[in-house]
Structure 1
Amino acid sequence: MSTTFTVDFFCSVDGYGMAEGWPGYWGKEGPELIEDRMRTFAQDQVLVFGATTFREFREFVVEYDEPYYNSLNELPKIVFSSTLEQPLGWNNSTVLNEDAVTAIERLKRTTAVPMRSHGSISLNRALLAAGLVDRLEIMVFPAVTGRAGAKALLHGGAELDLELVESTVLDGRTQKLVYIPHLHGEIPEDAGPQRRNRSGQ
C-alpha cells in the first residue's frame, strides 16, 4: 500500500505566493481557473496543511464564496501543529503534533488515498527537500510583484530537477505547470540506461 503527495502552489511570475496590496489571484481570476480548482478538489484525497495556511483557509471558506469551497469543507484534512487543539473549527480536520517529514513518509507507505497540500510554505519546503513530493503543481499568474511579493516556496529551498508532465493555459493568461520533482543530483529509480548514461553515471 502506498500513495502520492502533491504540492499545489499559486505564484506570480517572480515566484511569490502573495503580495501586499494585490487582490486574490493577483486580480486574474477567470472561469477556467475556477473550473480547474473544482476538478482538483472533487478528487478523493486528503488535504495537508501547516498551521498558518490551515487558519487562513478556515477563514476563507466562511468569508468568501468560491464554488470549490464546498469540496474543501467535505474533504478530510490534516494539519501539522504543536499549538492547535481539537476542536479545530473546520469539519473533517485532524491535528498531528509530530514531525511532518516523518509523518508524511509513514502515511505515504501506509495509506492509499492521495494527499495534496496547497500553500503551507515551510511544510512543503521541508517535504520537497526530503524527496517526499511526487507532483509539483504550480499555477503561474501573469504578474510580477517585485518588492511587494512574499511567501516564495522555491526561493532558498532545495535544488530540484523538474520533469514537466503537463502544461495548460487557463483563461488565456494563467499557466498551470505540473512537474515530477527530483532532488538535483539524484537519478530516479525508474530512469533507464540511456538516461543514466547521459547523466554521466
Structure 2
Amino acid sequence: MGTIAVHEFISLDGSYEDPSFTFEFGFDPQMGETLGAITEAAKAILLGRNTFEMFAPAWSTRTVEDDPGAPFFNDTVKYVVGAREPQAEWANSVSLGAYDPEKIRTLKEEIDGTIYISGSGTLVRALLAEGLVDDLHLFVYPIALGKGEKLFVDGADATKLTLKAHDVYANGVVHLDYGPAQA
C-alpha cells in the first residue's frame, strides 16, 4: 500500500499561491537533500489540474543538465485530478477526472511506494480533510505575505497533525514533516 507525501512552500501566514516569494531566500542545499529524500521514495506524482498545467511547460523540456529533478518529474507517472481535462500535455500523465476520494484510496492501494504531491493546494486540502495524507512536508519561509491563497482556509474543519520531523536551514526556512494525529 502506498503513502501520500505532500511538499509545500508556504509563508509564515500560510500562503502558497505564488512561490516567487521564496526566491529572495535562495535554495539551501540541505533543502535539496530533504526534497531528494522525499522524491526518491516516490513511485508516482499526484497533481491538481492547475498545478499540472503550470508544471508541464516548466518541467517537460528540462533535462538533468538543467535540473537534477528533471528525470523524476518527466519519467514518473503523473496522475492529474480535475473536473476539466488538462490543457497541457506531458509524458506519462493520466487524468483521474474530478476529485473523488475513492479514486485516491484505490491509487494508494495500487501503488507500492510514495505518491508525491507538490503544490496543488485545493487537492491537498481535500486529501487532508479525508485523512489521506501520510506526510505533509511544509517548508515555511520567514515572511508573512498578508495575501494569497492559504493552505488552511477559514471555515474549514480543524486538521490535527503529529510532528514527525523538522529541520532548520541556514536561509531561515523551517521544514516541518507532519503526519496524521496519533489517537
| TM-score (ref. length: structure 1) | 0.77
The one-character-per-residue Cα deviations of 1:11-30 (angstroms, maximum 9, x if unpaired) are 011110035xx735242122
Q: CA deviation at 1:62?
A: 5.2
Q: Is 1:115 aligned to 2:112, yes or no? A: no
Q: Is 1:124 aligned to 2:124, yes or no? A: yes
Matches of 2:86 and 2:164 in 1, distance apart? 39
Matches of 1:24 and 1:74 in 2, distance apart? 28
* Contact 2:161–2:180 under 8 Å retained in 1: yes
For structure 2, the residue ranges without an aligned partner over 5 or more in a row are none
* Contact 2:101–2:130 under 8 Å retained in 1: yes
For structure 1, the residue ranges without an aligned partner over 5 or more in a row are 183-187, 192-201
> What percent of counterpart residues are identical?
28
Matches of 2:70 and 2:169 in 1, distance apart? 20
Once the two structures are overlaid, the 10-residue window that deviates more, 164-173 or 46-55, is 164-173
The one-character-per-residue Cα deviations of 1:23-45 (angstroms, maximum 9, x if unpaired) are 35242122222333333323332
- Alignment correspondent of 2:52: 54
Partner-residue secondary structure (3-state), 1:150? coil
* Contact 2:48–2:81 under 8 Å retained in 1: yes
Where has structure 1 moved over 3 Å in runs of 4 or more? Answer: 62-66
| TM-score (ref. length: structure 2) | 0.84
Specify the code of the residue in structure 1 equivalent to 2:148: A
Question: Which structure would you say has the larger Rg?
Answer: 1
Q: What does 1:84-103 align with in structure 2 at a 5 Å threshold?
A: 84=85, 89-103=89-103
In structure 2, relative to structure 1, the CA distance for the partners of 1:69 and 1:27 (3 Å cut) is farther
In structure 2, relative to structure 1, the CA distance for the partners of 1:152 and 1:137 (3 Å cut) is same
Specify the code of the residue in structure 1 equivalent to 2:57: E
Q: CA deviation at 1:75?
A: 1.4
Alignment partner for residue 42 of structure 2, among 36, 41, 44?
A: 44
Aligned-residue Cα RMSD (Å) equals 2.4
Aligned length: 178
